[in-house]
Structure 1
């Protein structure tokens, strides 16, 4: 199976087990990655945006999971989806295009729905 990683969860109560969700054009799939396999494929799991996995399908009590046995980072293929000259890096969700103050707030002026600039309130 291959798809975009939408969720990575590693609960403290799961004894090192990683739960991931991959999504493709047909839907989403739940993956289980045991601690030893995570240690082996850590780089692929942490760095990938598009991941291909091989594993064993497990169906228990009406819940279906794929227990992962191998992982491959296919994120480089995402760049071939566009014909424009985009930067070679993929966007990260925590990056911003606006300058940010020391306290994390944007330095861009606030604009009302009418298009007029207004001064924000300072709660410090």
Structure 2
């Protein structure tokens, strides 16, 4: 496994909120079995941050996540589960657990490349 410091995204990029060049104190790297670096395209396409682990210690966290699925989003409204499955298929991952981390609401990204298609659609709207 590559060093987490080596995998950190630094410098100019299109993903807001990362790239400061440090690992947050709340990240327990001891529970991570593997970190996979993905392309900007894949990150934007799937709009999901994934932590992958085979560690049974996370089972309670998964149960908590499943029990609180309605927090800040609805299951039908958020495609992250489907995106995670797609991500796993792309990487052919055979893992015990995979996490989708939803750190914030999506409206904060409306002005970014993640929503370019919506901006183009809005700019090209015609009114009768």
Q: TM-score, normalised by structure 2?
A: 0.22
Larger radius of gyration: 1
Which is richer in strand? 1
